[in-house]
Structure 1
Amino acid sequence: MSKEWIAVDWGTTHLRVWRMAGREIMAKAASDKGMNTLAADGFEPALLELVEPWLTETPTRVLCCGMVGSRQGWIEAPYRPVPCAPLAETLVRAPTRDPRLDVRIVPGLSQSSPPDVMRGEETQIAGFLALKDGWDGVICLPGTHTKWVHLSAGEVVSFQTFMTGELFALLAGQSVLRHSVDTSGWDAAAFAEAASEAMSRPEALAARLFRLRAAHLLEGPQPARACAELSGLLIGAELAAARPYWLGQNIAVIGADAVARAYVEALSLQGNSATFAKSDAMTQAGLVKASRDTE
């Protein structure tokens, strides 16, 4: 087996790869060939398009996380029930035709009551814990489907998923609010006000959302303010529902810069200080840990 290896983050809409030597990144590449764009026989060719220049005659280990291991992915990597460590001791091997590839997939996690699943976030959690040895508390992973994860003694104890990111995309792009919201703008004060309002009165969310449209019609367009208000209302309502997770806990937020910092800001409005970590870096650290633990 080659001493070099390849780390892969394969999501629903994207494919990102890193050429690794131990924990050092030697090169990287990306494409838009996420799981949703591929048939079952399309995963190996999509991977080879990016990594073939890095391969030698000796088989190269390829460690993948994300939706590539879903039922619609390359091969299903069955969920592991919590409570458990974020990473499995044994990864799932994907079938390949090219003898230069040795592809392994990180399984996701599941929860039976209430029912919930995650795929990809477990690797980010493992990366965070690898860099923060002994850390206990709650991790928030914002995204299309935001996760709140309770960690203790290095294990995922429980978690809860909120469709906040998907709701934002649907409301901003397909509802009546599409005429009022410009997702390229931002108003920090409007975000803070809306988040605090939704935290205190989450039951009024549906009525408060329509006020964004009414304000546009009566007061004129304020697209940046409307975007920030929409985000604040949805995140505030999520924080109100997730309060049992984060209240009185150590909190970390792992995500892309803009959306993760919005969560950090919303938590700070409630007097909670959260540690911020970038999702890409945590994914890489998690795959490095998987590489070392499953050699």
Structure 2
Amino acid sequence: MSKVDWIAADWGTSNLRVWGMSQSGTIVESAESDCGMGKLSRTDYEPALKALVHPWVTGPTTVIACGMVGSRQGWTEATYATVPCETSPSAFFAPDVADPNLDVRIIPGIRQMDPADVMRGEETQIAGFLALNPNWDGVICLPGTHTKWVHISANEVVSFQTFMTGEMFSLLSKNSVLRHSVGNGLDDVGFKRGLDEAMARPERLAARLFSLRAEGLLSEQDPDIATGRLSGLLIGAELAGAKPYWLGQQVAVLGAGPLAKLYVDALATQSVPAIQVQAERATLAGLTAAYRKYKE
């Protein structure tokens, strides 16, 4: 096994991912578990971390962590930086750790007072993207359960806005009357139709949603088309609400897989070319930049 010089950790609500890193920022080892913040009490964090990294730790080792591990319900609360602020952390927060070989430091999130908004973990992805793309100005979209639109200028987060689009899709498709109408696939034509409907008349969203159920009853609409339309309606309403962010801006979408591609395709229909960047690569670049700053 190659020597691990330090450890990067992305600790979310559902999962923990760790990477054993060299001083140069190369991945030496990696591991993950389902021991996310949502399953842990405060005393569970150190054992959950050590269960993954114990074989790598042969002496004093720094761990740089981001995400929900720094929330109020996390290992220790890493209080927020307030916009406008630099993307690199201005402070690190240390939880109580019994193992003398582990020096754990948590990156704080970012908050916005008006309109009220918060992020944890995304700030590290943003810092990593900017480390990979120096002097980049524009808007970064981070799709997910709670999608964020972030205005970046001069390496600072100027403002941001969160949309609960992913959570709404999950709730509507699994726990509402629409569960009887949607399928497991996502039809591209249905997505485009829903997107166009929502962009044209976002105030009609609630009515359009019920029409998915009605069309399933009256015309036996294909469930995969209904799924595509549901996704298109919700993302379209989000794009309409986020228009002050992306209109006339350079846009980057941080994320891998189908969801990020949906956002890239949706923006393309509005004549907004967006670059797509793998989120894990940005996260590791951000954690590496934070480690180097901590060691300065």
> Shared fold by TM > 0.5?
yes
The match for 1:38 among 25, 37, 40 is 40
Q: Structure 1: how far apart are the matches of 2:223 and 2:33? A: 31
Q: Which range moves more in the overlay, 228-237 or 81-90? A: 81-90
In the TM superposition, residue 221 of structure 1 has moved relative to its aligned partner by 5.2
After superposition, the C-alpha distances for 1:259-290 in whole angstroms (9 at most, x for unaligned) are: 11100110001111001011111111100110
Q: Match for residue 21 of structure 1?
A: 22
Q: Structure 1: how far apart are the matches of 2:34 and 2:54? A: 17
Length-normalised TM-score, structure 1: 0.97
Q: Match for residue 277 of structure 2?
A: 277
After superposition, the C-alpha distances for 1:12-50 in whole angstroms (9 at most, x for unaligned) are: 111111111131011111111110100010111111111
Q: Match for residue 212 of structure 1?
A: 212
Conserved? CA contact 2:178–2:213, under 8 Å: yes
Length-normalised TM-score, structure 2: 0.96
After superposition, the C-alpha distances for 1:82-109 in whole angstroms (9 at most, x for unaligned) are: 1111121331112101112110000000
Q: Structure 2: how far apart are the matches of 1:45 and 1:180? A: 44
Say whether residues 1:177 and 2:192 are aligned partners.
Answer: no
CA RMSD of aligned residues (A): 1.1
Conserved? CA contact 1:89–1:293, under 8 Å: no
In the TM superposition, residue 113 of structure 1 has moved relative to its aligned partner by 1.0
Q: Structure 1: how far apart are the matches of 2:125 and 2:10? A: 10
In the TM superposition, residue 222 of structure 1 has moved relative to its aligned partner by 1.6
Say whether residues 1:146 and 2:147 are aligned partners.
Answer: yes
| Structure 1: gaps of 5 or more residues | none
Q: Structure 1: how far apart are the matches of 2:177 and 2:195? A: 21
Q: Structure 2: how far apart are the matches of 1:196 and 1:4? A: 51
Conserved? CA contact 2:4–2:21, under 8 Å: no
- What amino acid does structure 2 have at the position aligned with 1:217? L
Q: Structure 2: how far apart are the matches of 1:278 and 1:177? A: 32
Conserved? CA contact 1:11–1:67, under 8 Å: yes
Q: Match for residue 191 of structure 2?
A: 191
- What amino acid does structure 2 have at the position aligned with 1:250? Q
In the TM superposition, residue 3 of structure 1 has moved relative to its aligned partner by 6.6
Q: Which range moves more in the overlay, 223-232 or 39-48? A: 223-232
Conserved? CA contact 2:61–2:102, under 8 Å: yes
